[in-house]
Structure 1
Amino acid sequence: MKQHFSVEDLQYLMSRLRDPDSGCPWDLKQTFATIVPSTIEEAYEVAEAIEREDFVHLREELGDLLFQVIFYAQLGREQQHFDFSGIVDTLVRKLVRRHPHVFPSGELYGDNHSVDIDEEQIKANWEATKAAERESKGESGTLGGVAAGLPALTRAAKLQKRAAQVGFDWPAIDGVLEKVEEELRELREAIASGDSAHAREELGDLLFSCVNVARHLKVDPEAALRQCNRKFEQRFGAVEAALGERNLQPSDVTLEELDRLWEAAKSSADS
């Protein structure tokens, strides 16, 4: 076996997996749509490895994510939509176009001399280029092109960011926090009315406002919630471990006892 494999080897492996006569039955059944859930899962596993600073596993997780791209490229080639080289070509052209301060000639290997501009101007140029690209695709309007398939928290943050770029934003976080309090009051009123549909709508408004808080704090709401999830898992695991020492399950004790153990786990984690 080779000492070191390349992207070309990975493409060949993928073509073997999809070979109609000798390929893998599972891989042969897959379509663009069926592997989307795996793509999303792999992306989140990459994010988790980075957040944990687990660089040993990050290399493996990045490989799993790359395999998703190779899989799509193979499907695209089979159906004569595109191939891997076309994906790379499109990406390079887009990145050169979006970095005129690095590639002023508009060519990757042209006579380029970096332009001395500040970060704010770089961001402005980037957004202007992306806006032009969206317009060329028929994605008109300030909010055009924000993918509907994004996780809801991420999409909310992107929609808010786009609106903020044209001046539709709170000038300071105080106004955002007041909006959160207003939405919480409206949610309480909806719950009290017994109108579940209205309560669902108000809950959405509250979550949207919380995303706005995250944006003003320059915090990724998805990352913040993932961190909270991990914290909850660790603390609840400590509760179960404490009960396990007494041969008990959470369902064997009262809510008061669970709350006491939770506070103990919380204090231990904070100390």
Structure 2
Amino acid sequence: MTDRTAAAELDRLLAIMARLRDPETGCPWDRVQTHASIAPYAIEEAYEVMDTIAREDWRSLPDELGDLLLQVVYQARIAQEAGRFDFATVARMIGDKMIRRHPHVFGDATLDSDLWERNKEAERASRKEHGALAGIPDHLPALMKAGKYSARAARVGFDWGTAEEALDKIGEEIEEVRAELAGGDLDRLEDEIGDVLFTTANLARKLKLDPEACLRRANAKFARRFNDMEDILAESGSVIAEQDLATLETLWQDVKRRHKDADTAE
């Protein structure tokens, strides 16, 4: 596909959105949407893109990317109607940012592994965002946000020296959870379990792993094993809810052994 064709298709999409938002002849649902009302859809569509890529469903990926692009077009159209900015502003600003952050490509600078983050820090400073944690979005998934917080703190020297030290800290945090169990104070337990999760995200970072990706993998593994348990029981006319815990634990360990190679290769 040529750039000219891409530009034509984008113009068509912008025109479609303008018509959907027309105050007299547009879609009744689309006309009343606001920045805030459609914002959650951008998150949903981004996760659908991630899921499609994880499944390597390349035939569906253009459609899912289109859904995500629509959210950008939608937000830009609402802003244009309010006189704030338009889609061209969005495209120009990201283009300018990419050029600014890649002087080794678009200028005469040499490649510097820290340049990207230094440029981001300079941009945050220009927006008067102060502090090492500035600019991290409030609405990120909590585990992803923990990873970003700890990475920013590490860049200014607030970090463990080794992954083993982070692992030891997880042990300490788990003992603090254990100490709170007898009291049954849910607020204190929530606080201590949060510390365990935050420190675990730190350990993943120290090992150069994405904590969000680690948890997604664990979720997928659990779902696969649990579904297998249900299938095995269904073959004998049983269901999980009818089994005692000892039987389920035996079945769980059996499923783990059956699929150990597949889980490791994931």
Q: Normalising by structure 2, report the TM-score.
A: 0.91
Q: What is the CA deviation profile of residues 130-162 of structure 1, one whole-angstrom value per residue up to 9, with x for unaligned ones?
A: 111111111011111111111111111111111
Matching of residues 49-128 of structure 1 within 5 Å: 49-104=52-107, 114-117=108-111, 121=112, 123-128=113-118
- The AA in structure 1 aligned to 2:243 is V
- The AA in structure 1 aligned to 2:135 is G
**How many equivalent residue pairs?**
256
- The AA in structure 2 aligned to 1:217 is L
Matching of residues 18-57 of structure 1 within 5 Å: 18-57=21-60
The match for 1:265 is 255
Q: What is the CA deviation profile of residues 36-58 of structure 1, one whole-angstrom value per residue up to 9, with x for unaligned ones?
A: 22111111111222223222222
Distance 1:29 1:164 in 2: 44
Distance 2:216 2:83 in 1: 39
Task: Choose from 155, 158, 164 the match for 2:154.
Answer: 164
Give the C-alpha shift of residue 182 in structure 1.
0.5
SS of equivalent to 2:103: coil
SS of equivalent to 1:82: coil
Distance 2:22 2:35 in 1: 17
What's the Cα RMSD here?
A: 1.7
Q: Which runs of 5+ in 1 are unaligned?
A: 105-113
Matched, 1:180 2:183: no
Matched, 1:238 2:228: yes
Distance 1:60 1:238 in 2: 31
Distance 2:95 2:176 in 1: 48
- The AA in structure 2 aligned to 1:76 is A
With a CA cutoff of 8 Å and minimum separation of 6, indicate the structure with the bigger relative contact order.
2
Distance 2:221 2:239 in 1: 20
Distance 1:199 1:239 in 2: 31
- The AA in structure 2 aligned to 1:181 is G
Task: Choose from 116, 119, 139 the match for 1:149.
Answer: 139
Query: Which of the two has greater helix per residue?
Result: 2
The match for 2:198 is 208
Give the C-alpha shift of residue 226 in structure 1.
1.1
- The AA in structure 2 aligned to 1:150 is L
Range with greater deviation from structure 2 (147-156 or 56-65) = 56-65
- The AA in structure 1 aligned to 2:190 is R
